[in-house]
A and B are shown apart, each in its own frame.
Chain A
């Protein structure tokens, strides 16, 4: 407020106003041109001034120019909106000019490097002649960045799997209303199973065998569904594991049904962006039900359940993800019987799932807390038990509230996946690091990081925008 006392140029009449306007634009343009010339043509039109002032001339001219065009109620619409937005006080004017100068300083070299001087065509390092980015490097390594070390000839399998999973996910939106009740069952149970099998058979491949004992147990399991009486159903269910053990012991080791499969690709070869998606997808699918259980346990009245859930959640929230991954890579094998070997990818997914489940549990707990007590009381007054109340009344409402929180968790999950390099799995950032040390392509680390940054940015930004949209949509429901 005090700087405005220097308004000795404030015009009072129409004629003065026009002069003031023209002078203001002139000063402003001189400032911009001076800066532009300084930086890009190495000429200095104000070199007759002492050095300190010379450095600041663009800024000074710009501010004077903006000051001159700060006319209240000028009647020119553009000028008014300009003044209101960037020119309210001298301080604001100075900031605005600085930002404009910064853009002029930074944008052209950036564009030069990114697009104008960059090389797009070619196949070898020699094609990168310009001073700009060498996008040839990205082009040559593109398959590796997307699919890791997966053999080139088999990459169609990864594509088919991803399309298949997307189709199954979208199928949930097209079911007839009669089956809508089973939608949550579908998403929580059936979809993970389907995706797991798709990945197991298509991406991993390899011949597998299923023991006859296992097949018999599964058939028995499904048969049990048809028993009408609920008590008897539970009774017969409990014999499934016993049947399995009995049959496997009796039939011996050789009673297997061999299933031929595609070429086997070990999980160590999976990598790139496809691995990022796979790890995030499976971690999210599994951490969601686990988080729900933990949130319910945290809020229960039974002391043992409550405190064990609490300590579980606080433990996983208090340690960094990198130590969790270290633990899964180095410590976890010690906890398994000698000789059992759990695949690295499974260990990683389990570790990330447990880690994110704790955060998801907190998010869901927030949703559960936000529901008014009236809902609980009304459900109880209808005679609903604990589980009925939660499944039919509480959880549907609470989950709607926490969808943005879940989306945030998913975002954090995607941003955390680069850490799996500590166990030796190479997703996108890991592949980048590998590629940049290849002797034929040294010195292109910048292009690699920019490329990965762009990809992650697009994914995360679109997801955050989508979650904001979801938040708005579900807010109006209540």
Chain B
């Protein structure tokens, strides 16, 4: 009987060893024939190429390792903005899908059915090559909100200029910590004495008041630099000052948001519908107001159903952001597995590092979600 357990495992092990051994042998041989050595030393060499959009300081004289970092930060930026927007929009559309209003309901389901059934790549292409290319040239662009310009070269908005930003930042962190402890204290007080403190108002005032204080006495100052048009030649212009958001980023974020919203909306709808009617009736029967029912009864249970698949969608959004390689947005895949790989020829190392990065992000989010799931899981009998 022992053999029955051991033999399949042995076979599997043998199979894996054979496959990996075959690949490794060939790879070593092929690389030897080309005079290439397997190694990560190339990361320390100079990159020699510039990147269009970077959150950190970077130019061609930095190393490939720093180029990798730039690509990674760009990916995380798109993922972050996309996740926030998709969650907000998804919640709205998901709730709208359940509205008693016929028009709103139909509009929401039309939206979901429309954007869900068109491939994401096609949507990205549409937004970038068709829609954003139709924007006006810089000299013709109308001014929005008295400060910003939406042009074919990107969105130009005013940029904030801080003095003593670190003071401001630490104050915000301190305010959040204070609010956290205050909320705990208020909850404890409510459970012990039944007295309810106006938590929301006090938290809000702390959150707004403390940072404002730094403006007055902390030496923090905020000024704005506005984009000003400058003529470079007889027909081309540019904007000086201000913040420039490249159209590649806008197209990618827009397409990702619209696409992922459909899935999140469906999750929200499933979550809210998954709560039995009995819950709402029971809550009403013990005298809770509408908003209390929402906050204390419906949302916690709905969130339990909504959050796991939604976290999956966040993961999908992060992975889908790799499609930036199709338009010229310098995310991890385009910068590292595209330009860097073409310049150095080290396919195995670079593709390996890229896949490892995405794996780490995926596994990290999965672990986080598993921990959260365990924490809120209802103990079944």
Interface residues of A (CB under 8 A from B): 84-86, 88, 92, 95-96, 99-100, 302-305, 308, 314-315, 317-323, 326-327, 330-331, 334-338, 414-419, 421-422, 429, 432-433, 436, 445-446, 449, 452-453, 456-457, 460-461, 464
Contacts and interface: CB of A to CB of B under 8 A. Distances in A.
B362 interface: yes
11 contacts: A92-B100, A95-B101, A304-B12, A314-B363, A320-B322, A320-B358, A323-B322, A337-B29, A422-B325, A445-B129, A464-B117
Given A335-B23, A335-B27, A445-B130, A88 B101 contact: yes
A308 B16 contact: yes
Contacts of B13: 304
Interface of B: 5, 8-9, 12-13, 16, 22-23, 26-27, 29-31, 33, 99-104, 107, 113-114, 116-122, 125-126, 129-130, 133, 319-320, 322-323, 325-326, 333, 337, 341, 347-348, 351, 354-355, 358-359, 361-363
Given A336-B26, A421-B326, A318 B363 contact: yes
A453 B118 contact: yes
A460 B114 CA distance: 10
Nearest to B320: A320
Contacts of A330: 341, 347, 351
Contacts of B118: 415, 453, 456-457, 460
B144 to A, nearest CB: 16
A338 B33 contact: yes
A86 B117 contact: no
B8 A456 contact: no
B122 A92 contact: no
B347 A331 contact: yes
A322 B322 contact: yes
Contacts of A452: 122
Contacts of A433: 125
Contacts, number: 145
A96 B103 contact: yes
Contacts of A88: 100-101
A315 B358 CA distance: 10
Contact of A418 (B22, B119, B320): B119
Nearest to B20: A335
Nearest to B325: A322
A470 B355 CA distance: 36
B122 A318 contact: no
B358 A86 contact: no
A445 B132 CA distance: 12
Contact of B119 (A335, A445, A456): A456
A304 B333 contact: no
Given A418-B119, A418-B121, A456-B117, A86 B102 contact: yes
Contact of A319 (B120, B121, B348, B355): B355
Contacts of A322: 322-323, 325, 333
A10 B33 CA distance: 90
A35 to B, nearest CB: 16
B31 to A, nearest CB: 7
A446 B133 CA distance: 11
Contacts of B101: 85-86, 88, 92, 95-96
Given A334-B26, A456-B118, A305 B8 contact: yes
Contacts of A464: 116-117
Q: Which 10 A-B pairs have the closest CB atoms?
A: A318-B362, A460-B117, A85-B102, A320-B319, A320-B322, A304-B9, A415-B119, A318-B359, A335-B23, A418-B121
A323 B125 contact: no
B291 to A, nearest CB: 12
With a 10 A CB-CB cut-off, give which of B104, B320, B341, B363 has the most chain A CB atoms.
B104
